[in-house]
Amino acid sequence: LATALTSVSLAQDLQGKVIGFSQIGSESGWRAAETSVTKQQAADRGIDLKFADAQQKQENQIKAIRGFIAQGVDAIMVAPVVATGWDDVLTEAKEAEIPVILLDRGVDAPEDLYLTSVASDQVKEGRVAGEWLVAEIGDADCKVVELQGTVGSTPAINRKQGFEEAIAGHDNITIARSQTGDFTRSKGKEVMEGFIKAENGGAYICAVYAHNDDMAVGAIQAIKDAGLKPGTDIKVVSIDAVPDIFAAMAAGEANATVELTPNMAGPAFDALSAYLADGTAPEKFIITESKLYTPADNPQGEYDTRKGLGY
Ligand code: GYE
């Protein structure tokens, strides 16, 4: 990760370009890191980044994108909060000949409405998390509770699917309860409290699968408040690899996470600079890595490395 964030070749051709970025908000530690890495990447390349925080609302994103089009920006980046409802505004950008790049989440819209999408393979992330659990649990019976991401967002849909694929055929592992925690720490805690209550105090919950680390961190608190030990009584597996989950791992309170780089803007700017230089069409989907981390992977060291990388 350190290498990925620092070995940026300065693409001078984006110097002075005006790029609008419609960010979802700051629901998670990962999201906040993505914002600061994007601003840093823009500054390194001399880009004039117009940043708009949508406070989790699609209507604010659509408004911001329309504003960018009216300003005549050179390109638009958007992290789409949900998958549907983008056709009109993306068509408007296309008609204005402004390239649009999707960051970290996908859309249900024709592929010709955006230049490229820089994101992880979210089905794979769910699968990696699920495969970890399958290997960890072996033949034991395991009742899982699931904290889903934002309803209608591609990471929530895909991470659910991937996890279900991984546990399919392992009848000893079942998802007992599944609810959205909206990718936030506070909602993750609240929903986990509800799961524990509904499951007779939580003693028979074997694992929590959270679609992001922030919800897992909230769930860890709820588990502790219920007098149980996260990491042992209830295993904790999630996605993102933010510093706080490594702190939890170092304390024995979390078991596995799947890394999501916060540096989506770097590859996005590289693709854009090639496109603006000579019309080179980038890959439609630029896929970032999904690496599993467990307590065997030096969690304290990972925590230290990640602190200061925009987190
Ligand atoms: O995992 C989560 C965030 O869109 C893939 O959004 C991203 C997710 C990320 O809030 O923490």
Amino acid identity for residue 292 in this structure: L
Which pLDDT band, with edges at 50, 70 and 90, does 278 fall under? confident
Spatial contact of 256 and 293, defined as CB atoms under 8 Å apart: yes
Q: What is the mean pLDDT of residues 259-276?
A: 97
Which pLDDT band, with edges at 50, 70 and 90, does 13 fall under? confident
Cβ atoms within 10 A of the Cβ of 311, count?
A: 17
What is the structure's pLDDT at 23?
98
Which pLDDT band, with edges at 50, 70 and 90, does 308 fall under? confident
Give this complex's ipTM: 0.99
What is the structure's pLDDT at 12?
52
pLDDT digits 0-9 by tens, 71-100 = 999 999 999 999 999 999 999 999 999 999
The verdict on the CB of residue 259 being under 6 Å from ligand 1 is no
Model confidence at 6: pLDDT above 70: no
**CA 155 to centroid of ligand 1, rounded, Å:** 7
10 or 97, greater pLDDT: 97
- What's the token pair of residue 243? 């510093």
CA distance 241 to 243: 7
The verdict on the CB of residue 183 being under 6 Å from ligand 1 is yes
The verdict on the CB of residue 240 being under 6 Å from ligand 1 is yes
